[in-house]
């Protein structure tokens, strides 16, 4: 997005806010009665995704003072980074059109029962602190509330949207000087086999590590260290996932980014990365597998690990050891067996996905005897 674009900000007296009762579009909740170019609406892919309710009848508590509107509060890491931080650019001294504020009001999902900063997950608190926002300045109403004076900045970033220059300036100003020595970084999802991952990813990570890549498992590092590692690298290779959204906090990155995809949802990431001017190249997933338990979006994927490593070897000029096909089969088999072991004890086994899962595995040629035996021993008894 060109830097000539000017982010907007308005002041709303006696503003009425409703906590969100759902964070799936259309979101019921939000800021009522503001129609100034939809500036108060929460957007995805450039379009409003919420449905602010009408004025409420009866008495409503009032929050005295001047506060800034932060929008919905997500607890999922990727959505939190992408959809809950976009209005914080209004805290920048250069953009404090209406003067300083007493705090920031976020609207959490009502069922999460977030009443204060102590209820936040640790990564959320650290991210707010990294961006210069002390936890004691955060307000999370659990019921409709009127705010004496509410400053509403335009949403500076969002799912499937390029970020605004004002947001990029704000986050760039928070970053320390680069100190990480790692020039080649692989961002891993190896610890997320229970949710969604690339089967056989440990082999991919091991071969990259042997070639000099630093393996970044984001959940093991505070946000400031993650940003430093990402910003300092010349080449980033991501196993596609929420960690890609962290690039919103590295707005001036000029290295190369490779994405090993596991889903056909490039529309979520590509506009963000291209809006940052990042050179992005993608490796498509070979096969996507249905999830045997948990949410549907937690499905796993298989990719051609040999092809990915061969392409990186040629593009980067590194001595990457490309594995034999048998090595790939062994790595995928190991993850399949681990996954079945998780499904064996998991609540909510998705029986309707069992046959599609088996069919997808069969197509790949990875239906090994050990996998069949594990399936028969652990999954079949639960289908009765």
User: pLDDT tens-digit profile of 139-164?
Assistant: 999 889 999 999 999 999 999 899 99
Query: Are residue 160 and residue 255 in the same domain, yes or no?
Result: no
Q: Is residue 335 part of a domain?
A: no
What integer pLDDT is reported at residue 36 of this predicted model?
A: 58
Average pLDDT across the chain, whole number: 84
Query: Are residue 53 and residue 148 in the same domain, yes or no?
Result: yes
Query: Are residue 156 and residue 229 in the same domain, yes or no?
Result: no
Q: pTM value?
A: 0.87
Q: Is residue 201 part of a domain?
A: yes
Above 90 in pLDDT, residue 347? Answer: no
Total of domains in the chain = 2
Domain hosting 299: range is 184-329
Question: Are the CB atoms for 230 and 243 separated by under 8 Å?
Answer: no
Looking at per-residue pLDDT, the higher value among 336 and 119 belongs to: 119
Q: Which of 50-54, 68-72, 96-100 has the highest mean pLDDT?
A: 68-72
Query: Are residue 264 and residue 318 in the same domain, yes or no?
Result: yes
Q: Is residue 223 part of a domain?
A: yes
What integer pLDDT is reported at residue 103 of this predicted model?
A: 96
Query: Are residue 39 and residue 105 in the same domain, yes or no?
Result: yes
Query: Are residue 152 and residue 251 in the same domain, yes or no?
Result: no
Query: Which of the 8 DSSP states describes residue 279?
Result: E
Q: Is residue 377 part of a domain?
A: no
User: pLDDT tens-digit profile of 272-325?
Assistant: 888 888 888 999 866 777 676 666 556 678 888 999 999 999 999 999 999 998
**pLDDT band at residue 180, thresholds of 50, 70 and 90?**
very high
Query: Are residue 113 and residue 238 in the same domain, yes or no?
Result: no
Query: Are residue 30 and residue 154 in the same domain, yes or no?
Result: yes
Q: Is residue 360 part of a domain?
A: no
User: Following DSSP, what letter does each residue of 249-275 receive, concatenated?
Assistant: G-TT--SEEEEE-SSS-HHHHHHHHHH
Pairing of strands 287-288, 301-302: antiparallel
Query: Are residue 16 and residue 104 in the same domain, yes or no?
Result: yes
CATH number of the domain within which 313 lies = 3.40.50
Above 50 in pLDDT, residue 223? Answer: yes
């Amino acid at each position: 997005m060109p830097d000539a674009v000017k982010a907007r900000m308005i002041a709303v007296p006696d503003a009425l806010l409703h906590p969100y009762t759902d964070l799936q579009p259309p979101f019921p909740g939000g800021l009522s009665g503001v129609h100034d170019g939809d500036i108060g609406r929460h957007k995805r892919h450039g379009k409003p995704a919420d449905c602010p309710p009408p004025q409420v009848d009866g008495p409503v508590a009032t929050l005295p003072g001047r506060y800034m509107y932060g929008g919905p509060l997500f607890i999922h890491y990727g959505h939190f980074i992408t959809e809950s931080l976009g209005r914080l650019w209004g805290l920048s001294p250069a953009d404090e059109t209406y003067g300083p504020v007493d705090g920031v009001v976020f609207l959490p999902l009502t069922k999460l029962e977030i009443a204060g900063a102590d209820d936040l997950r640790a990564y959320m608190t650290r991210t707010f602190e990294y961006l210069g926002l002390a936890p004691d300045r955060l307000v999370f109403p659990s019921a409709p509330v009127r705010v004496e004076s509410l400053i509403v900045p335009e949403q500076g970033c969002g799912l499937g949207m390029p970020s605004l220059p004002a947001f990029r300036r704000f986050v760039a100003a928070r970053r320390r000087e680069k100190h990480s020595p790692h020039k080649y970084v692989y961002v891993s999802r190896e610890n997320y086999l229970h949710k969604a991952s690339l089967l056989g990813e440990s082999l991919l990570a091991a071969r990259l590590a042997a070639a000099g890549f630093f393996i970044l498992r984001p959940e093991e590092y505070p946000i400031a260290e993650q940003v430093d590692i990402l910003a300092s690298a010349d080449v980033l290779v991501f196993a596609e996932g929420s960690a890609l959204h962290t690039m919103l906090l590295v707005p001036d990155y000029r290295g190369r980014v490779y994405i090993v995809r596991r889903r056909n949802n490039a529309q979520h990431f590509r506009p963000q990365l291209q809006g940052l001017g990042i050179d992005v190249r993608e490796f498509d997933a070979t096969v996507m597998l249905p999830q045997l338990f948990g949410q549907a979006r937690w499905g796993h994927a298989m990719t051609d690990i040999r092809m990915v490593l061969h392409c990186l070897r040629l593009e980067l000029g590194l001595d990457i050891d490309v594995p034999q096909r048998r090595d790939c089969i062994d790595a995928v088999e190991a993850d399949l067996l681990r996954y079945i072991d998780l499904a064996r004890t998991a609540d909510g086994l998705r029986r309707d996905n069992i046959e599609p899962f088996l069919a997808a595995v069969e197509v790949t040629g990875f239906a090994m005897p050990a996998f069949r035996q594990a399936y028969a021993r652990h999954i079949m008894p639960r289908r009765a």
